[in-house]
């Protein structure tokens, strides 16, 4: 097989696209003794930049609320990456953008979330791994 026809999947750049942290009730919130309820939401997005180059982002939003619904903190991190995909069948491109790329990006987003929340003065939030393949399959079934 010639080199031109070899499939190419490479990471060109990884970066934090957006990051925010809100602690609306500081400093009094640090005096609270109760355990917050932590909610995590994850979304992915991809777009074609130019021939063979795609941007993929994984956005993680973590919200911690007390029993009385006061927000302890709200942290959102969008981890981006530029990926090169060449000589790959179109049906496989979508799978790579929805599963393989987010699998690469999520550990970086998870680390950014943990570091940001710790720097805000709270115990670290350790996010469990995400099954992006299951998310992709759910989206495909929902769109069918």
Helix (H, G, I), strand (E, B) or coil at 7: coil
Rounded Cα distance, 97 and 112, in Å: 21
Rounded Cα distance, 134 and 33, in Å: 37
Rounded Cα distance, 56 and 35, in Å: 34
Which tens digits make up the pLDDT trace of 21-37? 999 999 999 998 889 99
What local confidence, expressed as pLDDT, does residue 31 receive?
A: 93
pTM metric for this prediction: 0.90
Rounded Cα distance, 60 and 125, in Å: 12
- pLDDT of 121 over the 90 cut: yes
Rounded Cα distance, 105 and 86, in Å: 20
Rounded Cα distance, 1 and 6, in Å: 7
């Amino acid at each position: 097989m010639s080199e031109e026809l070899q499939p190419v999947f490479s990471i060109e750049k990884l970066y934090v696209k957006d990051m925010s942290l809100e602690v609306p009730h500081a400093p009094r919130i640090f005096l609270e003794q109760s355990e917050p309820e932590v909610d995590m939401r994850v979304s992915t997005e991809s777009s074609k930049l130019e021939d063979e180059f795609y941007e993929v982002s994984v956005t993680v939003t973590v919200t911690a609320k007390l029993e009385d619904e006061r927000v302890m903190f709200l942290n959102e991190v969008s981890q981006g990456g530029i990926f090169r995909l060449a000589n790959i069948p179109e049906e496989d491109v979508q799978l790579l953008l929805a599963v393989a790329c987010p699998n690469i990006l999520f550990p970086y987003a998870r680390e950014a979330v943990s570091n940001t929340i710790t720097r805000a003065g709270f115990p670290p939030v350790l996010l469990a791994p995400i099954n992006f393949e299951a998310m992709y399959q759910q989206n495909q079934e929902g769109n069918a």
